[in-house]
Structure 1
Amino acid sequence: MKRIEQRERTKAALLDAAAEEFEARGYIGTVLSTISDRLGLTKGSLYFYFPTKAELAAAVVASYFEAWEPLIRESRKEHRSGLAALIWLSYRVADQYRDNIRIRAAARLVRERELIDAPLPEPYVDWISNVQIFLREAQENGEVAADLPIESLAWQITATFFGNQQISNDLNNRQDLRQRVDDMWFFFLRALSPKNVPATPHVSATTIAAATAADSITPSTIIAATSDTTGA
């Protein structure tokens, strides 16, 4: 048992060290000996876990895809559903892109996937599918206008989020990503509201951010965040 635990720790350390290199240097620029040297291991030890650089890159990308399911499940807690769950999830995913080295490295590797001689999952399709589920719930709950096409809307929200994440990375090392998510929901929630809402809704980014930071976003905070501030 101890040997198995040691192997798992070594494998995790290799993935973290590899992620540091892949994020900084990209797939082509990463050298396996640099990764093993970081941990004081021989190249033979690295090859025991990952025989090729492509397999190591694929493992980093796999850890990226594995990271999301626990967050999706957690988004359902506290009776969250529909928009409340989706907004909560979007901030947690943003935090992972900002703070998690494996997520950041995998994001770069996914962009460089044509250089990697290993099968990698297709990006974005699972996110589009999951966003559709949240949006259908929101539409059934009256949070999203009934005449909006959910498939197209999910595509646009997914594209906007990941576009924000990439631009935030390129310009500010993702340090302003939460603010960009605030802005995204500011505009989307205005557009999504049902037509029977009597006044033009306005999203309070402060309300949304405070709610998500406190893990307390619920349908009531959605209502508060989309309350009319125009005085109409």
Structure 2
Amino acid sequence: MKDGEHVQERAEQTRRSLLEAAASLFDERGYAGTSISDITARSGHTSGAIYFHYTSKERLALAVVEEHFATWPPLIERYASTEAAPLDQLVRLSFAVARAFRDDIVVRAGARLWTERTLIEAPLPPPFVGWMDAVGQMMEKARAEGDLAAHVDPLPAARTVVCAFFGLHTVSEALDGRRLVEDHLTDLWTLLLPSLRARPGDTAGLLAAARVPRAQG
């Protein structure tokens, strides 16, 4: 490896280390409860490194939120590109997203920071709109393939599913720290899928399969 490439790799490792340390603190303590000193102690890097890579706590918080939002497009593409029926794709995707909210520190921190956005003096990306578009496309595809019940209007249904999904996460976070989020999601889809499908399907089998993380490939 050339010297320049080594320096660039070390810089990227430092940036990631700072981002993850900040994310863990933002998730635990919130934006106002986290200081630059806290981040230096958690990360093992100096405050100078923080200011060099991110310039301020606000910019570091923004980077966490942006990383949170950047998680979703490749995940959506990964599940939408399978050969499964669109509604099955949507169910499997929803469980992958739920696991990310439960297990990924940057995703969790990004979600908390967005709820505390009035404290952060930096513009944050808008939430939910991208999810409504993605779910709407899956619903439209399901209708085109004859899998969506005739009474279901794809776009309003997509908004409803997104609202229900993120409402479920809010309740699960408050009551059980998202530990039982997959159980709650199973209950939600058990209720919703029969009304969305044009034909009866193996809901229990699909939900059991969706709870098993899909191997990277």
Q: How does 1:31-180 map to 2 (within 5 A)?
A: 31-180=35-184
2:194 to 175, 187, 190: 190
Aligned amino acid, residue 18 of structure 1: A
| Pairwise CA distance, 1:149 | 1.8
Any idea what the Cα deviations from partners look like across 1:109-138, whole Å, max 9, x if unmatched?
Answer: 111111111111101010011000000111
After superposition, the Cα gap between the structure-2 partners of 1:23 and 1:164, relative to the gap in structure 1 and judged at 3 Å, is: same
Are 2:23 and 2:110, in contact at CA under 8 Å, matched by a contact in 1? yes
Structure 2 unpaired stretches of 5+:
none
For residue 209 of structure 2, the aligned residue among 205, 208, 211 is 211
Deviations 1:75-105 (A, max 9, x none): 0344134112111110100010110000000
**CA-to-aligned-CA distance 1:121-165 (integer Å, 9 cap, x gap):** 101010011000000111112221233222211111001111111
Cα pair 2:85 2:142 within 8 Å, conserved:
yes
Structure 1 counterpart of 2:209, one-letter code: A
Q: Is this contact kept in 2: 1:75–1:85, CA < 8 A? A: yes
CA distance in 1 between counterparts of 2:14 and 2:45 reads 10
How high is the sequence identity, in percent, across the aligned residues?
37
**Normalising to structure 1: TM-score of the pair?**
0.86
**CA-CA distance at 1:178 after TM superposition:** 0.6
Cα distance in structure 1, aligned partners of 2:107 and 2:169: 12
| In 1: Cα distance, 2:213 partner to 2:174 partner | 29
What is the CA–CA distance in structure 2 between the aligned matches of 1:48 and 1:215, rounded to whole Å? 38
1:190·1:203 contact (CA, 8 Å) conserved in 2?
no
- Whether the 8 Å CA contact 1:136–1:150 is kept in 2: the answer is yes
> Which letter maps to 1:113?
R
**TM-score, structure 2 length as denominator?**
0.91
The whole-number CA distance in structure 2 between the counterparts of 1:113 and 1:141 is 40
**1:33 Cα offset (Å):** 1.0
- Does structure 1 conserve the Cα–Cα contact (< 8 Å) formed by 2:102 and 2:178? yes
Judge which range, 80-89 or 12-21, deviates more: 80-89
2:125 is paired with a residue whose SS is coil
What secondary structure sits across from 2:100 in the alignment?
helix
Q: How many residues align?
A: 210
Aligned alpha-carbon RMSD (Å): 1.7
Aligned partner (choices 22, 28, 32) of residue 24 of structure 1: 28
Shift of residue 202, structure 1, vs aligned partner: 7.5
Question: Aligned AA for 1:47?
Answer: Y
Q: Is the 8 A contact 1:186 1:202 kept in 2?
A: no
2:169–2:181 Cα contact (<8 Å) kept: yes
